[in-house]
Amino acid sequence: MPRSIAHQTVDELGGPGSVLARQRADHIELDRLLHELDGTTGTAQEAVLSRVDRLVFSHAFAEETVLWPVVRRVLPDGDALTLRIEKEHQEVNELVSALEADGPDDPRRPGRLARLVEVLREDVRDEEDELFPRLQAAVGVEELRRLGRRWELMRRLSPTRPHPTVSRRPLGNALSGLPLSLLDRTRDLVDAGVRRAPEQLVPVGKAVSTGLAGLAGLVERAPLSRRGDRPPTSR
């Protein structure tokens, strides 16, 4: 069994530009945020969750768009490997959507938060201990660096919010990515402004954020956004 990328040096991973090094750096930041999340409540918890969302969803969308097609091409069981991780990504989308929809006072919130942390940690272990070492063994260092550049570009253009009905595979994810990213990132700016705005402007900001969420919902549910999804992750 190839060695987990968690225990390799940056040079062994192909250098700082390698997709493996970039992925591990995100995983380290996620671990830090999950530790920060533990024990928080109220607005502090919402603030940390927002940072988790921005990291996790752009990271996963870039994986599904750039990396998983390569894994399915170069590994004989790549389809099964990526499908397992896509199911984890789908559950994260559904958990975060439920947390947002039901609010901080819902009695199911502690259980959902605990499950969210559990699934995120499972996803990291599946990638670092199995999928990425096998990808590392199947492609050369230059390919890992090329994938790193493509993944980083896609991550910067990817959605930052949960979209559970969008396909986890091409063609749907590729078609929906840019419009959802624009809407999500605009909404992130609006929500950040609401947190700093005078009280009399808060209702306006919240109305704008709700409108953007509605537009994102229309994009998410469009037939083209759902093309390519598999039954275990389709909604």
pLDDT digits (tens, 9 = 90+) for 55-105: 999 999 999 999 999 999 999 999 999 999 999 999 999 999 999 999 889
How far is the C-alpha of 182 from the C-alpha of 157, rounded, in Å? 8
pLDDT of residue 169: 94
How far is the C-alpha of 67 from the C-alpha of 59, rounded, in Å? 11
Picking from 232, 222, 228, 81, the residue whose alpha carbon sits closest to that of residue 163 is 222
Query: In the structure, what pLDDT confidence band is assigned to residue 233 with cuts at 50, 70 and 90?
Result: confident
Task: Give pTM, 2 decimals.
Answer: 0.94
pLDDT of residue 13: 98
pLDDT of residue 64: 97
94-109 pLDDT per residue, tens: 999 999 999 889 999 9
| pLDDT over threshold 90, residue 31 | yes
Between the alpha carbon of residue 83 and those of residues 14, 87, 157, 178, the distances in Å are: 26, 6, 23, 23
